Amino acid sequence: MKSKLCFGMAIFICIMSAVIITHRVEHKASQPSGAQPVEASWKKYKNIEELVLAENEQARKAGDSSQTAADKMPDYTKMFPDLYTEYVMPKAVDKEKKIAYLTFDDGPSDNTYRVLDILQEYDATATFFLIGSEIDRKHEGCLIRMANEGHTIGIHTYSHVCNEIYCSIERYLDDFNLVYDRIYDVTGKRVNIYRFPWGSNNRYSKNIKDALIEEMERRGFTCYDWTVDSKDSNGKPSAYTILRNIKKDIKRQNQPIILLHDSGANGLMVRLLPDIIKMLRQMGYEFDTLDHREPYQFPW
C-alpha cells in the first residue's frame, strides 16, 4: 500500500513539473526577443523623445493598440455635431522643387504682429498654429491679417496644458472645439489643419494617440508635424544655435516643415526671422503654406 502511494505521488509530481515547464516556455515564446520593460531601463535614454520611441516600439511588438474599431463608434463621436470640416488633399509637388514651409506655434502674441510685418516685407507666407486662450481682443487683428495676407491658420489647442487635453479623447475634443469656434468667430473661416502640442508622438497622448488621430480624420481634420526643429523655445537658445539647428536639419530636404514659435517669449526668433528667410532664399527655397503640402506626421 505504501509503495503504491509513493508511486502515485511520483507520477503527480512529474505531471505538475511538465505543466510548469510548458507554461514557462509558452510565456517566454510570447515575449519579444530581448524585450524588457522600458520603465526599468529609462535611465539609458538621453531624452523624452528617445523614451517615447522605445515605449511605442515595445507596444507595437506586444501587439497593443488604442485604435478604435470602426464598428464600435464610441460616445465621443456624438460630441460636437458641428465640429466637422473638409480637407482637400493638395496636388503633389515636384519633389525636386525646393519649398520651405515656415510654421509658427503658440501665438498669437505681440510678437505675431512683428512676424506678420516681416513676412509681408520679405514677401513670404507661413502657417500659424494658434492657442485659443491667446486670441483676445488685442490679438484678433493677427488672425484677420493672416486670413487676408495669404497665410494659413491651424489649431494648436485652446489651453496647451498636457494634463487637460490628453487625459481623454472627450477632453481633447472639448478643448479643440473652443479654439475652432473662436477662430471662426474672428475670421469667418473653418480651419482644417492642426498640430498637437509636443507633436503627434509625445508621452502625454500615447495612450489615446491612434484613436484620437482616427477621430480627428473622421471629422475632416489633418495633422501636421515638422521635419526641422529650430529649438527656439528649448532652454536658452542663442542666435547661433537657432540658425545652426535649421541648417543641420534642413540638409537633403527639398520641402522642409520648419518649427518656430511666436509666443510672447520668443523675441529672439522674431529678430532672427529676416536672417532665416534670407538664408533659406540663398539656399534656393521658395515659401508656401502647409495646406499646399501633403500631410506629414512623425513616422514613429
**160 is an active site residue:** no
User: Which of 294, 275, 143, 170 has the alpha carbon at shortest distance from 224?
Assistant: 294
- The label of the residue with cell 475652432 reads 180
Catalytic residue among 151, 156, 160, 261: 261
What is the rounded distance in angstroms from the CA atom of residue 260 to the CA atom of residue 134?
17
Q: Among this protein's residues, is 174 annotated catalytic? A: no
SS (H, E, C) 1-39: CHHHHHHHHHHHHHHHHHHHHHHHHHHHHHCCCCCCCHH
Grid cell digits, residue 41? 531601463
Grid cell of 277 as nine digits: 528667410
Of the residues 105, 229, 249, 291, only one is catalytic, namely 105
Burial of residue 276, with CB atoms counted within 10 A of its CB: 0-12 exposed, 13-18 middle, 19 or more buried: buried
Closest CA to 266 of 276, 281, 280: 276
Query: What is the four-CA torsion angle of 105, 282, 228, 234, rounded to 10 degrees?
Result: -60
Cell 529649438: give the residue: 231
Peptide linkage before 108 cis (omega within 30 of 0): yes
Which positions are catalytic? 105, 261
